[in-house]
Amino acid sequence: MSLTVENLEHNMASLTIEASAEDFEKACQSAYQKQKGRIALPGFRKGKAPRKLIEKMYGVEVFYEDAANILVPEAYRNELNEHKELEVVSRPSIDIVQIEKGKPFIFKAEVALKPPVELGKYKGVACTKIDTSVSDDEVKERIDSEREKDSRIVEISDRPIKENDIATIDFEGFMDGVAFDGGKGEDHDLTIGSHSFIDNFEDQLIGKSIGDDVEVNVSFPEEYHEKSLAGKPALFKVKIKGIKEKQLPELTDEYVSDKGFENIKAYEDDARKKIEERKENEARAKHEDEIIEAIVEDSKMDIPEAMIDTEADGLVESFNQRISYQGLSPEQYMQYTGTTPEKLKKDMMSQAEKNIKSRLVLDAIVKAEGLEATDEEYEEEIKKIAGNYYMDVDRFKDMIGDSEKENIRKDVGMQKAVDFIIKEAKETKTKEKKEKKEKK
């Protein structure tokens, strides 16, 4: 096989790949073996007709399409493995140049090549200072949230409804004295303050007691989904049938000891630490996005459309996998949301371009600063990934191919680049000050 490269505009390239006549013949024979079971000729049982007779009957080109489908991926893959200097970053667009018995098989593959990056400023990039301090109110809110998980629902009979109670009600809605469809319910549990009912419906139940009959006057929102009700006043006749209250466990040393803490202070300290860790991780993620965005803005690169298109396809595939985990097929999602595969992909294009630019500048920083993964760092990452799958490290290595191993090395390098630019960044006190500085 042989490869000829023609560089095109915008980091595109046309690869002319030539396979020998012998390789083409082998592919035709494989295509015959694949198809012969479906071909019947007079005097021969299905699958027993000789290849030459089939070609004489249907033409010598009868196996060409399948032969090309066999040979093209193999030849393309082999040539890219042979010429690793060609960093192809898109699917190939294939065009058959020559396909003829007894002659070399020739095809062209138009591809996008990884574009070079002219790095702008990446050291000392300004980023917004983010407050990661934790208030006592935040600690209390987290602990109350945990206590709520351990709460119990208690029937109340000696007082009227108050905020946060769960009222059990029967209700029926009327408009101009006539009951309307969908406005009736029985034994419905309504949490007061949840705003799950329209307007101030829930507020009008506060202070009412079990057995009360209440007339609730509301107005439907102008944007209400049922057009016949939108913007119109309505009367609901409500019967209070029960009151329940969510009771949280008291915060005591005994309560926190069941969670593995010596006393309330240790429990509060742990809550504060977890909030701090979350805030610091969120701040780091925001700094990373902000700094990379600034570096991309200050750098130059010519990204081929085919590269963005391929990245968008990958995002769509990942999205489809995520919704399938939720029990939806891509077709069902399209039907429910009224979107189309084309629109979904179009919506992904902006994120695809952002992802590519981020990777390109980080990769350029890896090379500029010599941040490639060391063997020790690579082994540590392999160990961590294998641990995530509860697998033996050696077995995990045997399961992944060379390309996956190389990607792991690249990911380590990329993370080192992120650590580098964050460490080198200069925090500004507020976003407003940063913006003023940029205008100067």
Contacts of 262 (CB under 8 A, 6+ apart): 253, 256
Domain 276-439 has CATH 1.10.3120.10: yes
For the chain, give every residue range classified as CATH 3.30.70.1050. Answer: 2-112
Residue 340 pLDDT more than 70? yes
Domain 152-247 has CATH 3.10.50.40: yes
What does pLDDT average to over the chain? 92
Report the distance separating Cα 273 and Cα 139, nearest Å.
9
Report the distance separating Cα 5 and Cα 235, nearest Å.
77
pLDDT tens string 393-440: 999 999 999 889 999 999 999 999 999 999 999 988 654 444 444 443
C-alpha distances in angstroms, 236 versus 60, 209, 214, 242, 280?
A: 80, 17, 8, 18, 49
Highest averaged pLDDT of the listed ranges 146-150, 200-204, 360-364 = 360-364
- Proportion of the chain above pLDDT 90, given as a percent: 81
Determine the topology of domain 2-112 in CATH. Alpha-Beta Plaits (3.30.70)
For the chain, give every residue range classified as CATH 3.10.50.40. Answer: 152-247
Q: What are the two backbone dihedrals, phi and then psi, of residue 390, each rounded to the nearest 5 degrees?
A: 55, 45
Strand partners, 244: 155, 166
Across 256-269, average pLDDT: 95
Q: Supply the pLDDT for residue 432.
A: 44
Query: b/e string for 379-389 if b means 16 or more Cβ within 10 A?
Result: eebbeebbeee
pLDDT tens string 7-59: 999 999 999 999 999 999 999 999 999 988 888 788 787 778 899 998 998 99
Type of residue found at 349: M
For the chain, give every residue range classified as CATH 1.10.3120.10. Answer: 276-439
Q: How far is CA 87 from the centre of its chain?
A: 25
